[in-house]
Amino acid sequence: MFLTPKRSLKKFDPERSCFVLNEFAAAEFSSAIEMLFAAKVVNNKNLSNGFIRHALDEYKHCFIFTNIKNQIISEYKINKKELNFIPNHIYNKGYIYKDHFIFEKKKLNDFAIFIGANEEIAEKKLIAFTNHLKEHKPIAYKQIQNILKDEERHAEYSLRFAKNNNGPFLYKIKLAKEKILSFFRHIYANSLNKFSFIFNPILISILILISFITLFLKLKKNTTDNNVMENIDPNSIT
């Protein structure tokens, strides 16, 4: 799991809970895809099999989160199209890059640290969320406890591999760096709406201002022939 919901809920809110579950499902689905790619390209059969097992766990988690979400939607008669799980949205939300997989950009040892650090972060966020569900959705709470066991196991073996292959000192440096980067990734991903709320009006105002200014500019028209690039006036705003 890579990106995760930004906060736990202080009181039970069925609709908000569904949004959070949808984000967890998207993160697990994306993690599974990354693992399958790593399994395909890594030059080690044992590691490839391990990545496949990890991917299967993540797909299972995605199914559980989606199933819990759908049960809450049905029980509370929630009608929000934004709660549909649409795989293509994982690109828009930054769970998976459009131009590369993480394994393509990181060495194996660094990839292990990336996985371990993010699994630990996801585990903490999931614990906070399940504590919120415990009283209101005890069956869902028990299901997510099983997911937490998987997440703990994923983090443990990923970081053990990284520690064995990086050395103690370098391992600590890289792990701290990855946790800091992950922290800022989560802030960025979870603040996109806030940033748009602030910057979109500014951008629109700038565009309107530019449009207004162009009304007062005297642009020379070239009515000559064929080679447009040669006939552009160097003083033109174009």
- Per-residue pLDDT tens over the stretch 123-142: 998 998 998 888 899 999 99
Longest Cα–Cα distance of the chain, Å, equals 77
Q: Provide the whole-model pTM.
A: 0.76
Q: Which DSSP symbol is given to 234?
A: T
d(CA 66, CA 33): 17
CA distances from residue 74 to 50, 67, 77, 80 in whole angstroms, order as listed: 36, 11, 5, 11
The type of residue at 2 is: F
Q: Is the pLDDT of residue 10 over 70?
A: no
* pLDDT of amino acid 11: 77
pLDDT in tens, 90-128: 888 788 998 999 999 999 999 999 999 999 988 998 998
Domain borders along the chain are 14-190
Q: Is the pLDDT of residue 144 over 80?
A: yes
**What CATH number should be reported for the domain whose range is 14-190?**
1.20.1260
Q: Over range 3-25, report the average pLDDT.
A: 78
Look at residue 216 and give its three-state secondary structure.
coil
Q: Is the pLDDT of residue 3 over 70?
A: no
d(CA 69, CA 15): 9
* pLDDT of amino acid 185: 72
* pLDDT of amino acid 9: 57
Between 201 and 141, the higher pLDDT residue = 141
Q: Over range 4-10, report the average pLDDT.
A: 53
* pLDDT of amino acid 87: 80
**How many alpha carbons lie under 13 Å from residue 139 in its C-beta half-sphere?**
6
Between 201 and 86, the higher pLDDT residue = 86
Between 4 and 103, the higher pLDDT residue = 103
Query: How many Cβ atoms from other residues are within 10 Å of residue 42's Cβ?
Result: 17
Average pLDDT, the chain: 84
* pLDDT of amino acid 238: 46
pLDDT in tens, 28-81: 999 999 999 999 999 999 999 999 999 999 999 999 999 999 999 999 999 988
